[in-house]
Structure 1
Amino acid sequence: MDFEGVRNGVQTLRQLIRQCGAALPYLHVEDQPAFRTRGYYLGVTRGRVPALDWLKTWVDKLCLRKVNQLQLYIKHTFRFDGMSETWHGSIPLTPRDILAFDDYCADRGIELVSSVSAFGHLYMALRTQSLRDLGEFPESADESFVFINRMHHHMLNTSDDRAFDLSRRLVDDYLQLFRSDKFDICADETFDLGKSRSEPFAERIDVAAMYADCAIRPCRHLETRGRRPMMWGGITLEHPEILETLPEEVTLLNWQHDPQVTDEKIRAVSESGAKQIVRPSVWCRNALLPCHRRRLAQNIPRMTRYGQ
């Protein structure tokens, strides 16, 4: 039996009941997915950490909409062993939560994929006494906490082998909780790369080569763990020569948030032969409320069309 087809058919029936009530019209529905992977990216790194019950409710909504992949992005909001300084003051998700959530997603035909920044976006971790020395700008660790500062000085000093040891530990601790063979290392918004402690290394090789090394090392490590790496494509597309150096198994997540987005960057990856997943989005960082529906109505259809 095609369980996925039955599940999606049930969701179609639920949608019809929501639209029409108990008196359903006579109709014949023929439907199939336009995309094999229909994903949703959920970051739980800002504000309150969602409880497991809330996450389950969200997955029920995704199931209704026939989403079949969910990436769960964490930073300090997961209870990593030996890193209590990082999640102190919050109520982090636990390994038990993730295991239960993975089961819940699987029962609804949704692949739960792990997402951890392998060498950036570690602002809260790099403010701690234990880990600050691994940062690109350790001297900024005692600056006052402001939400906007989370986007600054959040990178590991990638010229320090101890930093890669930490990255590998984060990856290994998190990936073992998921049945999926995919892992998203993120690798985006590397603003600090080569700007302070790693500057001598950056002077010997260009920043593009430095970034490629930062990304390839965790990807190779994941391959030894039997995982297929994913990463955001933004920095890679700023330095297209990196595309030729990435491991064959890497999938680029081609995230574009501009309402008037073109297909230029999607074509660039496609023509390189690299694998990619098109990621519609809208820019609403630093906004009190989400972006206007008009932006959604422009970006999502365009990206969907380009992805086909």
Structure 2
Amino acid sequence: MKKLLYAALAWLLLAACGGEEKSADPTDFHIIPKPASLVPGTEVLDWDNKKIAIIAGSAEEKNVGNLLAEFLKAKKLNATVSEFSDDADKIALYTAEDPALGNEGYTLTVDEKGVSLTAASGAGLFYGMQTLLQLIPENGKTVPFVTITDQPRFAYRGLHLDVCRHMFPPEFIKKYIDLLAHHKFNRFHWHLTDDQGWRIEVKKYPKLQEIAAFRKETVIGHARDADPSNPKDFDGKRYGGYYTQEEVKEIVKYAADRYVTIIPEIEMPGHALAALSAYPALGCTGGPYQAATTWGVFDDIFCAGKEETFTFLEGVLDEVITLFPSKYIHVGGDECPKARWDACPHCKKRMKTEHLKNSHELQSYFVQRVEKYLNSKDRQIIGWDEILEGGLAPNATVMSWRGEEGGIAAAQQGHDVIMTPTGWCYFDYYQDTTSENQPLAIGGYLPVSKVYSYEPIPALLNDDEAKHILGVQANLWTEYIPTTDHVEYMMYPRACAMAEVAWAAKENRNYEDFLTRLNTHFRQLDAWDVHYAKHLQHATDSTVASKK
């Protein structure tokens, strides 16, 4: 019989706490993402000057207990973790069966007995804990009576971050993970390689750290306005860096402790200029190459006709999979010009040998060969929707970004899909047109209201096809985002809206209600020291209507 882990955060026994004779107002429950079911009570628990003992037995329970103690400390509540305690005020973690909750669901009850949080896994405990923390007011003294039953709509709930165009320190990556975990996201898509820089240490290929991790300068302003021959359009400053394998291991563990899986992306066959600058023999022309100093799409890509290309990529992936336990490895596959392949004798020979009709089928060969290698290592690939061109790799999952068409086509072919279309999920777009002081962005316009309006399951899919939509992800590309404050400004509060799209049932979402809860949630973001966009603060019903 399959052994299942069921964990529960059970009775918070508050000696002499009783229930204050104070009505719990339903409008006090400003939880993001919105729970599936919430029934308010009529009283509150008084936590003033209480000492709380968190009782934890198993390793996973202790992990959740330690995190809870940290969070309660931030709320100025005194909590310690131990296996046994005679203290009257306690939080006990124990195992209990409740299969109806699914792997990530939970039930939270606050009543005259205390606080009971039941979950089927450590992840469920963690998400219930996030809800509990949002129930505690700023003064940290009371918790309203309530019964909440909750579980996510989608299994895959992701946020992405590009660290190639601009890189951010490990401590900020941890904060980024903390914030997405607080909002019940469970996937962090880490975009680690691109034309402008290679950001992960690969010991077998040291030139990736020595050369590919750096570019000689960076374009100023929008790349489309730059003149490559005009030095004034560039900053003249060498830029770069990379994450050591020890840093990566630490970040991966940090994420796992918060029930977040990191999906690394190693771009191929396109977006390869940085790698080619270090190992020019891997390109069709042999170079010389340099890491890109502007943004966009470049003709020079990995040569699909040379065996040494696949030897290199397999060597890179061997080290990547030792660092990341994720089932998925993202291989890119997007924006891959075919001009070099069409002119390359090695690629022409490959097409002839493999009986490929054109360079699109050559890309399919490339992706399928990499997929087969990763499958042999018990891993699966995700690729951007261009991997559909020329024939989709057998076990590939498609990330649909150029609208929803690629996701629809993949689901209809029986492939799993993650929806991330630009029109709703690209957070490098401008989010406010009412202020003249918006920081530079790539273009476009994506307000919070449009993010919130997104429905990840296209109406064109039937019920069986819809099952292949694993979830949704928001992406942040950082061409024009050089600082950590700018990252947070572009992500929040839009990530709050996406969190609800990913977690809450379609029929349970209402934008006006969300905006009301968001105005309270801003105080939570303040407590987490998030540099969020503030144009929606204190929005009224009339401003809600104007934003639709």
TM-score normalised according to structure 1 size: 0.83
Query: Once structures 1 and 2 are overlaid, which stretch shifts more, 289-298 or 203-212?
Result: 289-298
One-letter amino acid of the structure 1 residue matched with residue 251 of structure 2: F
Matched with 1:274 is 415
Higher helix proportion: 1
Task: Supply the AA of the counterpart residue of 2:245.
Answer: P
Which whole-Å deviations, capped at 9, do the CAs of 1:65-113 have from their partners, x for residues lacking one?
0011112121211122222222256331000011111110110011122
Matched, 1:78 2:228: no
Report the more deviating stretch, 59-68 or 160-169. 160-169
Matched residue of 1:216: which SS? helix
1:212 matches 2:364: yes
The answer as to whether partners of 1:266 and 1:278 remain within 8 angstroms in 2 is yes
Give the secondary structure class of the aligned counterpart of 2:276: helix
- 1:98 has 2:248 as partner: yes
For residues 301 and 227 of structure 1, do their structure 2 counterparts lie closer, same or farther at Cα, with a shift above 3 Å needed?
same
Q: 1:300 to 1:268 in 2, by over 3 A?
A: farther
1:190 aligns with 2:309: no
Number of the residue aligned with 1:181: 327
Cα gap change, 1:91 to 1:264, in 2 (>3 Å):
closer
Which residue of structure 2 aligns with residue 87 of structure 1? 213
* Structure 2 gap segments, 5+ residues each: 1-6, 8-119, 215-238, 431-438, 459-468, 472-548
Match of 1:9 in 2: 128
Distance 1:285 1:299, change over 3 A: closer
Distance 2:314 2:448 in 1: 36
Q: How many residues align?
A: 292
Partner of 1:222: 374
Higher RCO structure, 1 or 2 (CA under 8 Å, sep 6+): 2
Q: What does 1:27-106 align with in structure 2 at a 5 Å threshold? A: 27-47=146-166, 49-75=167-193, 76-81=198-203, 82-83=206-207, 84-88=210-214, 90-106=240-256
Provide the C-alpha distance between the structure 2 equivalents of 1:11 and 1:299, rounded to a whole number of angstroms. Answer: 22
User: Which segment is superposed worse, 187-196 or 53-62?
Assistant: 187-196
Identity of aligned residues (%): 20
- Does the CA contact (< 8 Å) of 1:38 and 1:69 recur in 2? yes
Asked if the contact 2:351–2:362 (Cα under 8 Å) also holds between the matched residues in 1, the reply is: no
Identify unmatched segments of 5+ residues in structure 1: none
Where is the strand percentage greater, Structure 1 or Structure 2? 2
Q: Give the number of the structure whose alpha-carbon radius of gyration is greater.
A: 2
1:189–1:235: 8 Å Cα contact kept in structure 2? no
Name which of 236, 248, 272 aligns with 1:122.
272
2:391 to 231, 242, 250: 242
Is the contact between residue 327 and residue 380 of structure 2 (CA under 8 Å) also seen in structure 1? yes
Q: TM-score, normalised by structure 2?
A: 0.48
Q: Please give the alpha-carbon distance, in whole angstroms, between the structure 1 residues aligned to 2:429 and 2:342.
A: 24
Letter in structure 1 aligned against 2:211: E
Contact kept, 8 Å, 2:135 with 2:144, in 1: the verdict is no
255 and 22 in structure 1: CA distance in 2 versus 1, 3 angstrom threshold: farther
Deviation string, structure 1 residues 14-51 (Cα, Å, up to 9, x no partner): 3344799766554332221010111222221112x222
Q: Which amino acid aligns with 2:283?
A: G
Cα 1:291–1:178 shift into 2, 3 Å: same
**Distance change in 2, residues 1:97/1:18 (3 Å):** farther
Q: For structure 1, which segment, 190-199 or 51-60, has the greater mean C-alpha deviation from structure 2 after superposition?
A: 190-199
